[in-house]
Structure 1
Amino acid sequence: MTAIVLENLSKTFGKTLALQDISGQIAAGRLTGLVGPDGAGKTTLIRMMAGLLGPDEGSLRVAGLDPVTQGSALAESVGYMPQRFGLYEDLTVLENLRLYAELRGLARADYRHTLDRLLEFTRLGPFTDRLAGRLSGGMKQKLGLACSLVTTPDVLLLDEPGVGVDPVSRQDLWRMVQALTGEGMAVIWATAYLEEAEQCEDVLLLNEGQLRFAGRPKELTSRLEGRCFSLCGSSDKRALLAQVLTAPGVRDGTIEGDRIRVVMDAGCPAPDIESVNAVIPVSPRFEDAFIDLLGGGPGGQSPLADQMPEVASMGDVVSCQNLTRRFGDFVAADSVIFRVRSGEILGLLGPNGAGKSTTFKMLCGLLKPSSGEAIVAGKDLSRFATDAKLRLGYMAQKFSLYGLLSVRQNLAFYAGVYGLRGREKKERIRQMVDGLQLDSLLDSAPDQLSLGFKQRLALACALMHRPPILFLDEPTSGVDPITRREFWTHINGLVAKGVTVLVTTHFMDEAEYCDRVALMHRGRIIALDSPDRLKARAGQGASMEQAFIHLIEAEPDE
């Protein structure tokens, strides 16, 4: 049975063509992934399905209804969860559910049964009295999903529900969504996470407003049989990746623990590189096929890193000893202990609410520890926080950019904050503009930029003073795989110059780029090791995501 029919849909915003001649069908009782990079048109298409936007050309029918002419009836048949779901943060979990029940016209007689069912379904029953604003990111997504399901729709539209959500919470979301499709509901899950797309039964792949592929993920993946390899080398993995990406016939390359995963052009053998000890054929992934379809990865050269000076080795650059932060009776970070060596990438992973961002903010001097010691760049933060801040760069989750200032003014502001003046200030700004290709956007406001360019601007601001230490708090959340590859090319280049990096992320493939990973849970470090050793603890052949879930679930309940 068909739930949604798209016929030659097109939509333009000013001079921007958001969707161009989109046609296809979405089946009932199936999970369909709406996949594409930042700015591909996913949100525009979802909003048209929800009746919030009308097409300029073409037509669509959702649950047998025309969203343009039958909007009132459509509201009863469609559940919609936007990227920033409209939860009322000063209301409790239960009060939010009751509000949406009222708004959706749920019969009073059905309140108790429906809300009890949703609370059980989302496992939010123990948290009914908690304010929505105090929920973790994963719990907020579950509450948003529950609110969109108050009236049991025929079609459920989810616009990037996995963004900023840890693997354990994403696993819960998948469990819930798969149960819904089993009941006959059509679920459309928009995502830039390609491991999510691979789990969908069908996918629609958009790029620059065009439909590039429609079908089952395996149909696209099968095109790369015989073209994917794992390379084991004797040299540093970041140096080897940069070398591999310049080899003839290489379509894409990424780091996987101590190895390099490479995708070759059709008919090309694996690259013949002297420092490669072993070449192992591997099965293609959906992400490999996605990158190949869009023309391949961005390469391994960073113009930004090329113009940065070498950083002298400093031994242990960051040191935490029993670092603790309490908020009233709640312990957000509990006796955290770790060290970070000069020129190392340390990944700080954990579920939402594990204490990662709190730990980061303490190490950046933005939050005072309740107890314990933190030393950054040789400076004790309890006594020399200001001196330490001048030696580190911090890229926050939400990109600390000033919306009322242009790109040019943001760059000038941050240069001034870090004490740059005159000719040096102008030269440093010019280097950032050239290295991150921001020249055509200098007079734009940050809010006018795509997420990928906001990320570049935030990175430029964090690096303006050439810090030897870089803190990255979920820097790639919500951006597409090609943009993430570009970002990590810059990071790898900086580390090759001796910069030390601490990064938090919910992308498990990014954890593979780290030299070591510290896994946090309930404010504590529960594991600290290389990516490959952590994966080995979850069993032979385990992925980083499987290792994450295994280690979290192995922790005893308190």
Structure 2
Amino acid sequence: MTSPDSSPILVELADVTKSFGRNGPTALDRVSGVIGGGRITGLVGPDGAGKTTLMRLMTGLMQPDGGKVSVLGFDTQKDAAKIQAAIGYMPQRFGLYEDLTISENLDLYADLRGLPPAERPAVFDELLTFTDLKRFTSRLAGKLSGGMKQKLGLACALLKKPRLLLLDEPGVGVDPISRRDLWAMVENLTREGIGVVWATAYLDEAEACDTVLLLNQGKLLFDGRPDELTGRVQGRVLKLTDTAGRRRQVLAKALDRDGVIDGVIQGDAIRLVVRRDIEAESAIPADAGAQARISPTSPRFEDAFVDLLGGGPGGRSKLAEASRSFQAKDSLPVIEAHGLTKRFGDFTASDDITFAIPRGQIFGLLGPNGAGKSTTFKMLCGLLKPTEGEGRVAGFDLRRDGAQARNRLGYMAQKFSLYGDLNVGQNLAFFAGVYGLSGQRRRERIALMTEIFDFAPIMGMSAKDLPLGLKQRLALACAMLHEPEALFLDEPTSGVDPITRREFWTHINALVEKGVTVLVTTHFMDEAEYCDRISLIYRGRSIALGTPDELKASVATPDNPDPTMEDAFIDLVKRSDAGVAT
């Protein structure tokens, strides 16, 4: 049997349903589709969409409540062992042993997969060459960067060459260079006829798949080629340029206009999605200025997905409306790094990092995994003491006045940093105490956050049981309880759905307009476009500093006159490796 594109069918899904617990949520709701060989099928959707559940059903590790799953011609309920012997599976949290070396991990998984000892040298050599890990075989897995861990996980999944390879979010937390490396490896596998299922919440990854199954809240919203979905918004995606005033204000006003479905900042421009019956000119806000221009631009998969979900959340932020304003004081920067350096033994993680962030700006720290951006970020939060140099927040030196500096900033950690065993109300109360709030002020701020984020129905839920989008709202609420003038965001939206991401950035953009200053790290290159300036960190040093448009313009060529932020990221790192000045 073959799929609609004539590739052999490896997986058949027929009305697959799965719930957890008698009254638990429906993880999958009558999902049907086919997955073919020799191609990459994207299993696309935000956290909680049902991707991991569907993937586990394909492995036979879990059984459906209803419907049927057939893999390589075998029924998962009857022949799970045969399926598991013929497929490769890399779960989202791949079980590498961090106190074992790369070679020792390969040996362990070869034992588990039953790979005969006589075959191992040739297989290991091929996989280590394929993943470019041959130089690091004696390095402990715990010392690998995120991208290298994913490559090792892929090698372990390929020890016995499968007909079907299941990869559960291999790109999460991985920088654009490592993601492109992984993608190139997987494309090579499809040329050998291997079918690949690549689960992802990154919608730019979805765009690169041969076909996608698009899930949201357990329901299959779309099954087909990515360009088929993207084509639905052709002619309805517009770029607004040459606006007067601050682009965040213009975006907020545009989102409140009738017929504007979605909008995001793209460097100095604003990207809008409109209804079919709307004239382009009518999407321009009245205060955008006489020079403002609007023109069609190429649609992206994310534009179509947001349109399919009914549009974004609009331009209003109740959080910002209820927050105090911070006025400029003598034009002094709010966050400063002067020669920040951090050494761990003979290893220099950050080397002479210098920048200053004025009030009411967003500054982005970008860089590959292990480049030193998280170390720089933690020094400026007061979580790490620099070996050399100075960091200041709101005029306070982080070495001498750490407590005062930390009381002026709010912090959202990369991994959900709240207390999972405490409920929503207890987390709010705890962080109010951490930030020194007490009495009537404490009660007022907790009540305000509860109202703004609609926490009342979930106040008694443990934080660990919340969906990711609600965890992110709770983390932001806790970080804003004390009305900080500086906000530190470390990978704040990894894994959340595009609507929640837009809601989050609506709050951040509006807070910045009230004078809050933001330092953010992100692997989402479209989020980097929100930044006023960006420092690209590589091998511990800042190799480029400028606005998003300046960084993109610096890598433009006749062959690529309009590069993306991802293009700029990768080209600038390559130039640094080659010793080319940027």
Alignment TM class, shorter chain as reference: over 0.9
Q: Partner letter of residue 325 of structure 1?
A: K
Deviations 1:20-68 (A, max 9, x none): 1111111101000011123211111111011111001110111111222
Indicate yes or no: 2:270 matched with 1:279: no
> Which of residues 296, 318, 334 in structure 2 aligns to 1:303?
318
Equivalents in 2 of 1:388, 1:197: separation in Å?
41
Indicate yes or no: 2:41 matched with 1:32: yes
Match of 2:19 in 1: 12
Indicate yes or no: 2:81 matched with 1:72: yes
Q: Partner letter of residue 369 of structure 2?
A: N
Aligned CA RMSD, in angstroms, stands at 1.1
Indicate yes or no: 2:484 matched with 1:467: yes
Asked if structure 2 preserves the Cα contact closer than 8 Å seen for 1:61 and 1:67, the reply is yes
Q: Which SS does the other structure have where 1:476 is aligned?
A: coil
Q: Partner letter of residue 315 of structure 2?
A: G
Equivalents in 1 of 2:406, 2:238: separation in Å?
42
Equivalents in 1 of 2:149, 2:316: separation in Å?
39
Asked if structure 2 preserves the Cα contact closer than 8 Å seen for 1:164 and 1:478, the reply is no
**CA displacement at 1:235 relative to structure 2:** 2.2
Equivalents in 2 of 1:484, 1:348: separation in Å?
18
Match of 1:49 in 2: 58
Indicate yes or no: 2:249 matched with 1:239: yes
**CA displacement at 1:162 relative to structure 2:** 0.7
Q: 1:95-106 alignment to 2 at 5 Å?
A: 95-106=104-115
**CA displacement at 1:466 relative to structure 2:** 0.8
Asked if structure 1 preserves the Cα contact closer than 8 Å seen for 2:284 and 2:294, the reply is no
Equivalents in 2 of 1:354, 1:72: separation in Å?
42
Indicate yes or no: 2:436 matched with 1:429: no
> Which of residues 182, 193, 197 in structure 2 aligns to 1:173?
182
Query: After TM superposition, what 4+ stretches of structure 1 lie above 6 angstroms from structure 2?
Result: none
Q: Partner letter of residue 447 of structure 2?
A: R
Equivalents in 2 of 1:4, 1:70: separation in Å?
14
Indicate yes or no: 2:298 matched with 1:288: no
- 1:556–1:272: structure 2 CA closer, same or farther, 3 Å change rule? closer
Bigger shift: residues 271-280 or 355-364? 271-280
Equivalents in 1 of 2:86, 2:576: separation in Å?
41
Match of 2:3 in 1: none
Asked if structure 2 preserves the Cα contact closer than 8 Å seen for 1:37 and 1:482, the reply is no
Q: 1:275-354 alignment to 2 at 5 Å?
A: 275=288, 277-314=292-329, 315-354=332-371
Deviations 1:492-546 (A, max 9, x none): 1110110000000000000000000110000100101000110111212100011
Percent identity reads 59
**CA displacement at 1:557 relative to structure 2:** 5.7
Asked if structure 1 preserves the Cα contact closer than 8 Å seen for 2:17 and 2:66, the reply is yes
Q: Partner letter of residue 189 of structure 2?
A: L
Q: Partner letter of residue 394 of structure 2?
A: A
Match of 2:232 in 1: 223
Match of 2:10 in 1: 3
Equivalents in 2 of 1:267, 1:37: separation in Å?
30
> Which of residues 258, 261, 267 in structure 2 aligns to 1:251?
261
Equivalents in 2 of 1:510, 1:265: separation in Å?
24
Deviations 1:372-394 (A, max 9, x none): 11121101112111111111111
Q: 1:73-88 alignment to 2 at 5 Å?
A: 73-88=82-97
Indicate yes or no: 2:285 matched with 1:264: no
Q: Which SS does the other structure have where 2:74 is aligned?
A: coil
Q: Partner letter of residue 162 of structure 1?
A: G
Equivalents in 1 of 2:54, 2:432: separation in Å?
40
Indicate yes or no: 2:413 matched with 1:396: yes
**CA displacement at 1:224 relative to structure 2:** 1.1
Q: Partner letter of residue 306 of structure 1?
A: E
Deviations 1:75-116 (A, max 9, x none): 111111111111111111111111101000011111001111
**CA displacement at 1:331 relative to structure 2:** 0.4
Indicate yes or no: 2:192 matched with 1:183: yes
Aligned length: 558
> Which of residues 90, 114, 125 in structure 1 aligns to 2:134?
125
Deviations 1:439-466 (A, max 9, x none): 2211111110111111111111111111
Q: Partner letter of residue 63 of structure 1?
A: L
Deviations 1:147-193 (A, max 9, x none): 11111111111111111110000000001110111111110011111
Equivalents in 1 of 2:172, 2:315: separation in Å?
26
Q: Which SS does the other structure have where 2:156 is aligned?
A: helix
> Which of residues 556, 566, 579 in structure 2 aligns to 1:545?
566
Q: 1:376-395 alignment to 2 at 5 Å?
A: 376-395=393-412
Structure 1: stretches of 5+ with no match in the other structure: none
Asked if structure 1 preserves the Cα contact closer than 8 Å seen for 2:254 and 2:284, the reply is no
Deviations 1:349-407 (A, max 9, x none): 00001111111111111110001111211011121111111111111111211122111
Indicate yes or no: 2:111 matched with 1:94: no
Equivalents in 1 of 2:284, 2:121: separation in Å?
66
Q: Partner letter of residue 82 of structure 1?
A: P
> Which of residues 517, 522, 531 in structure 1 aligns to 2:534?
517
